[in-house]
Structure 1
Amino acid sequence: MRRSFNARPAWPGVFLLALLLQASTTLAVDWTPAGESQRQDISVDLAYANRTAVRPSDGKQVTAHLAFFASRTFRLEVIDLGAGSEPAHPTLEAAFRAEGCVAGVNGGFFHPDRQPSGLVISKGRRINRFETAKLLSGVIYSDERGIHLVRRGRFQDHPSITALLQTGPYLVEDGRPVRGLSATDPRRRTFIATDWRGHWVIGAITSSLTLAELGEILAFPDVLTPWRVDRAINLDGGSSSGFFFDRGADRAPVTLQPWKRVRNLLGICPR
């Protein structure tokens, strides 16, 4: 039997490679809850939370208003504010209260003349048309069967849809951040996400961050959500970012007023 006395064990190199891979993976998902993590009862049908995530590698913090709700108890409502010189309601809070919504955020994208981008359905009324622009990659809607969030190519239109927004881009799909999301242009963001098991959340990020960063944060449980996000989609953020949550008659509501006039809102109303 021939022996080679110059051969060295291979395990140190393998071990070093494993450490490097682990380090690179850790840096890619370097977001954790800021402060002590608060355990949330996911059996509650409606809940508000204000949460902050931190990236230890550079100390960046992101704060969000979040409204958690169950689709068995709540439905979506798209509130159209119109394209005229004056909106149908003077404030975001007034609009949601007028429609009986307990929470909500700003809605989809719109053009400078306030015409919406993509298909919008409000109270069963169809506004604009279905579009194939790259940004408008998904559809969030309500019908008699519940709430749905699907890719544009898998959407099947039908007459019983009562509320719909065509928006995008997709942020999370099958529990993973979507590849190719922009890593530039940080700004305030709004979104809707679900675990696809009846748990949903609408959120407004009050800090500036990129779409890629938002996708990373949402893809990991216990950072912003207590459950694994299966899919999430972006709404019109930036200066359009708005949020409302009614905490009851004995407490002031949580409100974040958009910096500019928006065309529509996405509300959460009891079934």
Structure 2
Amino acid sequence: MFRPSCLLTALLVASCAPQAPVEMPRAAVEVQSNAPAKPEVAAPSAAPAPAPVAEAPAHPASAPQVIRTTLNGISVTAVVFDSRTHRLAIADQAGGPGSQWPDAASAARSLGGVAAVNAGFFTPEGKPLGLVVTGGKKISPLNRASSLGAGLFIGGTSPALLRRGQATSSPEVLQSGPFLVENGRVVSGLSPDSSTARTVLGWDGGSGWFIARTGGCSLAGLGHALAGAEIRGVKARTVLNLDGGRSSDLWVSSTVSGGPVSERPFWNKPVRNFLVLVPR
């Protein structure tokens, strides 16, 4: 009887052996539970794909365009442009106002520009009232006293509008003032008097820029009108006043969308220098 019982025990042990595969279904369940994880892994890997778009400039480069608008009752004719495709060249007349170009149109055509506006202030003798650098050559010294020299236009490959104390080395510099808008806010202390035509240079802090001529207004009125304004996608984050009044002169070629434009009344006077918009 012992042997049969051993045999029975062996059979029982053998019958238990197949129980091991019970773990297989458990393993299969684990694989199935991991299966949905693949799409979850794939989703994050797909998400970074648009990342390069986020690194692209906020606004795609676009051609210059004339925009006519009214801000707080002030008429504004602006030329908006992208500094990645166009730049402002400083056209200064060593011989004094009108010695080379009688108006913005003449200055623009001589430099192959598509638009131009009068630029910085000048003395009764016709000398620049502030720093002017063209082609790497310093034409006049920095104006350290007057509010008419509060700001600097820095040209070149990385154009910017800076405060007088932030002067940096650049082959193209024009000093003017006062600032009308900084960090999107109107600058305090601007005069509410003397309503006249104005010319300004605006920047959104990136590649968006505009040059503009306005109808009659005060500096304070124009500052309040431009603060927070947006002209065809270009926010007026920083706006520098240029020489205005009888010096105000804006010309735009017919090749620019919205052109041609010629805003120079017969009573205008010749100026010392211009900002000319030229293709890069």
Structure 1-normalised TM-score?
0.75
Asked if structure 2 preserves the Cα contact closer than 8 Å seen for 1:51 and 1:65, the reply is: yes
Residues 1:131 and 1:109: Cα distance change in structure 2 (over 3 Å): same
Determine if the alignment matches structure 1 residue 79 to structure 2 residue 86: no
Asked if 1 retains the 8 angstrom alpha-carbon contact of 2:103 and 2:270, the reply is: no
Find the counterpart in structure 2 of residue 47 from structure 1: 65
Q: Is the 8 A contact 1:182 1:210 kept in 2?
A: yes
Give the deviation of 1:211 after TM superposition: 0.6
Question: Which position in structure 2 is the counterpart of 1:127?
Answer: 139
* Amino acid aligned to 1:149: L
Q: Which has the larger radius of gyration?
A: 2
Corresponding residue for 2:246? 239
Distance of 2:99 and 2:160 partners within structure 1: 28
Residues 1:86 and 1:247: Cα distance change in structure 2 (over 3 Å): closer
Q: Which of structure 1's runs of 4+ aligned residues deviate more than 2 A?
A: 41-45, 81-86, 89-92, 122-125, 224-228, 249-253
Alpha-carbon distance in 1 for matches of 2:121, 2:93: 13
Query: Unpaired runs of 5+ in structure 1?
Result: 1-40, 56-60
Shift of 1:252: 6.5
Rate the CA distance shift 1:202–1:84 in 2: closer, same or farther, 3 A. closer
Structure 2 counterpart SS, 1:239:
helix
Q: Please give the alpha-carbon distance, in whole angstroms, between the structure 2 residues aligned to 1:89 and 1:167.
A: 20
1:123 maps to amino acid: G
Deviation at 1:64, TM superposition (A): 1.6
Cα distance, 1:251 vs structure 2: 8.8
Q: Structure 1, residues 89-135: CA drift from partner, whole Å, max 9, x if none?
A: 23321211110111111010001110110111123221111120231
Specify whether residues 213 and 128 from structure 1 end up closer, same or farther in structure 2 by C-alpha distance, changes over 3 A only. same
Is the contact made by 1:105 and 1:241 (CA closer than 8 Å) also made in structure 2? yes
Question: Does the CA contact (< 8 Å) of 2:132 and 2:140 recur in 1?
Answer: yes
SS of residue matched to 1:78: strand
Look up the match of 1:6.
Answer: none
Q: What letter corresponds to residue 230 of structure 1 in structure 2?
A: R
1:180 aligns with 2:189: yes
User: Matched residues in 1 for 2:248 and 2:83: separation?
Assistant: 23
User: Contact 1:193–1:200 (CA<8 Å) still a contact in 2?
Assistant: yes
Cα distance, 1:94–1:168 mapped onto 2, change above 3 Å: same
CA distance in 2, matches of 1:74, 1:249: 12
Shift in CA distance, 229/250, structure 1 to aligned 2, threshold 3 Å: closer
Residue 230 to residue 252, structure 1, CA distance change in 2 (3 Å) = closer
CA distance in structure 1 between the partners assigned to 2:94 and 2:67 by the alignment: 31
The structure with the largest strand share of the pair is: 1
Work out the number of aligned pairs and report it: 219
Contact 1:107 1:235 in 2 (8 A): yes
Deviation digits for residues 14-49 of structure 1 (CA, Å, limit 9, x no counterpart): xxxxxxxxxxxxxxxxxxxxxxxxxxx975231111
More helix by share: 2
Displacement of 1:208 in angstroms is 1.1
Are the structure 2 counterparts of residues 91 and 134 from structure 1 closer, same or farther at C-alpha, using a change threshold of 3 Å? closer
Secondary structure, in 3 states, of the residue corresponding to 1:130?
A: coil
- Could you say if the C-alpha distance between residues 189 and 250 of structure 1 is closer, same or farther in structure 2, counting changes exceeding 3 Å? closer
Q: Deviations over 1:134-157 (max 9, x none)?
A: 3111100212x321100011122x
Q: Is 1:163 matched up with 2:172?
A: yes
Q: CA deviation at 1:247?
A: 2.2
Give distance in 1, aligned partners of 2:83 and 2:166: 21
Segment drifting more, 43-52 vs 98-107: 43-52
Q: Equivalent pairs: percent with the same residue?
A: 34
